[in-house]
Structure 1
Amino acid sequence: MVNINTLDPGASPLDYYGFELRRCREAAGLTQRQLGDIINFTGSLVGQVETARKLPTLDFSERADAALGTGGLLSRLHPLVMRSQLPAWFRQVAELEARAVEICTFQTHMVHGLLQSPSYVRAVLGVLDQDNLEDRAAVRLARQRIFEKQEPPVFWMVLSEAALHQEIGGREVMREQLAHLLTLEEDPRVNVQILPYAIGEHPGLQGSFNVYRFADDPSIVYTEGYSSGHPTANPDTVKDCSLRYDHLRAAALSIKDSAGLIRRVMEDRYGEQVA
């Protein structure tokens, strides 16, 4: 057990969050139990967060901010805490997502993490590893808060039709995931296009990839392997992948027709009736 008296706020964003929570609570003259009663969490949970043994949720952070009059300090720290809990090799990707003005992704077999539903996330992360699954799922879902920014990125996803049929998590999970994609149909900043089976050979046969574009910095291409990520700003690679992406987007169904295909697969394969 971490000794709260020696908690080092510089050790990690989670330690810093715990340190600040304890400082603000004590400044307000509240015990852990009293703060827990006010924000409708247990005093034990407050103690675990203060000692960096438990991840705070956004709801916890917002309630604690309101109770302690912190001016939103804990809520602002929350994204940094969640990002720090990502696998070390993936943290740079989360930073790219947070800074990008446009994200273009081609996915061959599953929905991109930024558009995954909660149950789909748990199914994906739970393969061969159920340890701390809820916390790991919360960390992945926290990345999706980039769409809540005042100026969120424009997001394009070209998704292979195969991903609609790959039954991840079972029928109910797939229904939820495809329904989630359909809710994005009218969002001009989040665009989903399906690359149909009928297209045959295409420029994405070498695998999934992402292109991140920024306001003032060079674009970056990102590819991924098992427990490793490969970002590059090499101009030739960026040029090649950008061209490939343009061709994939041109070959894919329109946004409207893509939604129609998603709806048909959801109805026919997963039994969901949609008006």
Structure 2
Amino acid sequence: MGSAAREGLCVTHINVLDPGASPLDYYGFELRRLREAAGLTQRQLGDILNYTGSLVGQIETARKVPTVEFSERADAALVTGGLLSRLVELVLRSQLPSWFQQVAELQARATEIYSFEMGMVPGLLQTKAYARAVLGVIDQADLDDRTAVRLARQRIFEKDEPPLFWVVLSEAALYQEIGGPEVMREQLTHLLSFQENPRINIQVLPFSAGGHAGMTGSFDIYRFESDPAIVYTEGYGSAHPTANPVTVKDCSLRYDHLQAAALSLRESAELIRRVTEERYGDQLA
């Protein structure tokens, strides 16, 4: 089948696309409208953006999730005033599991986030390879899209006023080899890159701490400018946010104790560096 015929199929599909069906459909509808207004075929736009015309067609027909990079390039090429870059935020959030969408909104609104993690690096600090390995343990379907969606949540740190993010990370997370030595080396090196960022603070809770206030599991605390604080815990395929004052008070106290039991920021960085060198074979400068 020739390229014209293939594009004809895309046009047939897009004609019945309902822009009100979802943020992804609306994005595709707008991309097609803007492309046609510029007098470009899918292949021509793809050439300009350094993507394939097929990918442009898949995004226009809501069969492929656009990335932030694609949106920024399309905005520049089609002179949209940043429309697609604004829309892609909604698209990526809508692609999160339904049970997690509320949590992503809370993270985007929070002025302070306090996270305790038992077994792995939290999603807001994961590298692409690490996130892909975590998400692909059971389910390999749409892995590229799901990884991009997870990483897009990290854009909250690019805001003019990013949240204060404080993490207490169990030492076990440094040794749980997710994705292999190279992936772990990259991930732990990524954690060390935040040493000079006063808004992203990482403490390690060492094995030597013994029993601790977080033995019952990981949790997050979200604080806001004017709304009540929310505690978030997670189960298999379910999210459990609560603003119950008793729960918030209890978890806040637990977090204080976890921070007190954890290594200092400097000592935590030294431990992360040592594990990276000794376990994953990277001699950092």
Query: Same fold judged by TM-score > 0.5?
Result: yes
The residue type paired with residue 26 of structure 2 is Y
TM-score, scaled to structure 1: 0.98
Q: Could you say what secondary structure the match of 2:254 adopts?
A: helix
Counterpart pick for 2:177 among 158, 167, 170: 167
TM-score, scaled to structure 2: 0.95
Counterpart pick for 1:246 among 245, 256, 260: 256
Instruction: Name the counterpart of 2:106.
Output: 96
- Percent identity, aligned pairs only? 74
> Runs (4+) of structure 1 moved beyond 2 Å?
none
The answer to whether residue 201 in structure 2 is matched with residue 191 in structure 1 is yes
Q: Deviations over 1:59-86 (max 9, x none)?
A: 1111111111100000111111111111
The residue type paired with residue 211 of structure 2 is E
Matches within 5 A, 1:209-224: 209-224=219-234
Deviation at 1:105, TM superposition (A): 0.4
Q: Could you say what secondary structure the match of 1:56 adopts?
A: coil
Q: Which runs of 5+ in 2 are unaligned?
A: 1-9
* Aligned CA-pair RMSD: 1.0
Counterpart pick for 1:23 among 6, 29, 33: 33
Counterpart pick for 1:141 among 151, 159, 162: 151
Instruction: Name the counterpart of 2:91.
Output: 81
Q: Deviations over 1:52-110 (max 9, x none)?
A: 00111111111111111100000111111111111000001100110000000000000
Q: Which runs of 5+ in 1 are unaligned?
A: none
The answer to whether residue 39 in structure 2 is matched with residue 34 in structure 1 is no
In 2: Cα distance, 1:196 partner to 1:59 partner? 38
Deviation at 1:235, TM superposition (A): 0.5
Q: Could you say what secondary structure the match of 1:178 adopts?
A: helix
In 2: Cα distance, 1:230 partner to 1:88 partner? 13
Deviation at 1:116, TM superposition (A): 0.6
The answer to whether residue 282 in structure 2 is matched with residue 272 in structure 1 is yes
Q: Could you say what secondary structure the match of 1:3 adopts?
A: helix
Instruction: Name the counterpart of 1:6.
Output: 16
In 2: Cα distance, 1:26 partner to 1:3 partner? 15
In 2: Cα distance, 1:188 partner to 1:165 partner? 26
Q: Could you say what secondary structure the match of 1:224 adopts?
A: strand
Q: Deviations over 1:181-207 (max 9, x none)?
A: 000111000000000111111110010
Deviation at 1:40, TM superposition (A): 1.5
The residue type paired with residue 133 of structure 2 is A
The residue type paired with residue 107 of structure 2 is E
Q: Could you say what secondary structure the match of 2:203 adopts?
A: strand
Q: Deviations over 1:159-185 (max 9, x none)?
A: 000111111111111101100000011
In 1: Cα distance, 2:46 partner to 2:128 partner? 26
The residue type paired with residue 191 of structure 2 is L
How many residues matched?
Answer: 275
Instruction: Name the counterpart of 1:128.
Output: 138
In 2: Cα distance, 1:266 partner to 1:32 partner? 45
Instruction: Name the counterpart of 2:117.
Output: 107
The residue type paired with residue 166 of structure 2 is W
In 1: Cα distance, 2:64 partner to 2:280 partner? 36
